A and B are shown apart, each in its own frame.
Chain A
């Protein structure tokens, strides 16, 4: 593996969820790039990517459940399971599988107060 994030200096153990993207882009890679942030970190996506694809092309976690806090990463991709809701920094909640990325979008996978906590 060559693409492990080099962040072990913080001394935190890395789970597999942080180690690699979930999705793999197989084709249609020649679309226009857009920039967004994910929990404050800049990332690049392509026009026509859903927010879910944009997230999962970088990591394996999209949200934590309200009860056990276990990670989730979407499930049905067709707007039925409701397991990919995330928040924008301005407060709007969006279903990641059925929302397309926009340049400058600022996405949070954890409630705003929890960032950096």
Chain B
């Protein structure tokens, strides 16, 4: 074995994100003698999928109760992390809000700290892929991920009578988890017809146990009489200051379901802002219907020393995240000159590559089965809010496009402020791109990519002003193409 990479060496490996990808990467690095810094915004490791209830607060549910059939995997990730605590520099509750010039800007407990790196693994995960419908900003309307977090991490349901809507594996999983926990699930509204799910079966069988679990959730719901509607269109949520009903269209018929909460989403979207600020080259990914940072099968980006793993690099799920975290760590070790050429490491890498390729095939099947609606933008009424931060409606965006002022997404952002609010387009970016595509007739790949900008999440003004000199350095380090107009 070559010399261990210690604190005195010039290398400094930083992992952002303590979900399944980050934890497996840290484990692989530690096994080789590397001591990574691991930064995570959450107070406890696990990411969103294996999110743990708050520590020392008296939460008592078993892992079986929290994670169901995934309890074993959740426990394995948590246990691995517990074993790593004394071997890594773990910084929970820490937001990474900027990245440039081989350093990260972090915020912990109101304090700014710059963290330099020579090798960076970005494992920042995903949020729900959101496409709006009229009424989506009403209190009581949440993402599917939000509905799951309320239950998993707080023991709460998002409402007394809940409608779950949209599409994707999470739709059925969350509905199942709610019904099992004793919540009243009024209906599951899937925007995809069952025929698409049948057509995708050959690819879905690449991961037979995952496929079987999906079937189990649907079967369980059906057996308990939970109303499941497929191939529907979400029309609107209505209510006086909070949601009171969800209306959908099935064929030519509009149907309304009284409820006091809606959980919806159309699969997941990658958190790519840090890769953007790090200067990584992006390409449009037709499968994810989104711009993603380029990476090789091992997780290397276009920027030497910057790596990607997990859903933040393209949606592939928790199992793939564990594999990709390991794989990226091996690539990092190889690039560090560490155990290079070892037959054992090469065999491990090759095995991971095969497993990841298999999941990638499954993933194509999932997108086939649960594709987001591609023609919704043309049906959005002018007065529907697209950007919930800045309250920009569809009509404002349409007028801007039809007036010839913008045919590219960053121009549309500059003129209307869509995607410029506090969430930086996380909730409206996909919708703005769909609308721009519908209005211009250009494919979605050709309407441009919403660029990231530091701070990637709101930070107190006092932080931004704290260290003006390093701020200036930081801004100049952002690559030209990644800067805002």
Contacts and interface: CB of A to CB of B under 8 A. Distances in A.
- A26, A57, A61, A75: most-surrounded residue (chain B CB, <10 A): A75
A105 interface: no
Given A47-B57, A77-B150, A17 B139 contact: yes
B159 A81 contact: no
Given A60-B140, A75-B427, A22 B389 contact: no
A76 interface: yes
B155 A82 contact: no
B154 A50 contact: yes
Interface residues of A, number: 47
Contacts of A111: none
Interface in A1-57: 15-17, 20, 22-32, 46-50, 53, 56-57
A50 to B, nearest CB: 7
A100 B422 contact: no
Interface string A73-108: 111111111110100000001000010100000000
Given A16-B239, A65-B391, A23 B423 contact: no
A80 B421 CA distance: 12
Given A78-B146, A80-B423, A23 B57 contact: no
A76 to B, nearest CB: 5
Contacts of B160: 20, 24
Interface in B132-159: 137, 139-143, 145-146, 149-151, 154-159
A16 B138 CA distance: 12
Nearest to B181: A26
Given A48-B59, A83-B389, A26 B139 contact: no
B149 A78 contact: yes
B127 interface: yes
Contacts of A22: 139-140, 158-159, 242, 260-261
A48 B53 contact: yes
A53 B54 CA distance: 13
Nearest to B159: A22
Contacts of B388: 72, 75, 81, 83
A17 B157 contact: no
Among all A-B residue pairs, the 3 with the closest Cβ atoms: A48-B57, A73-B139, A28-B155
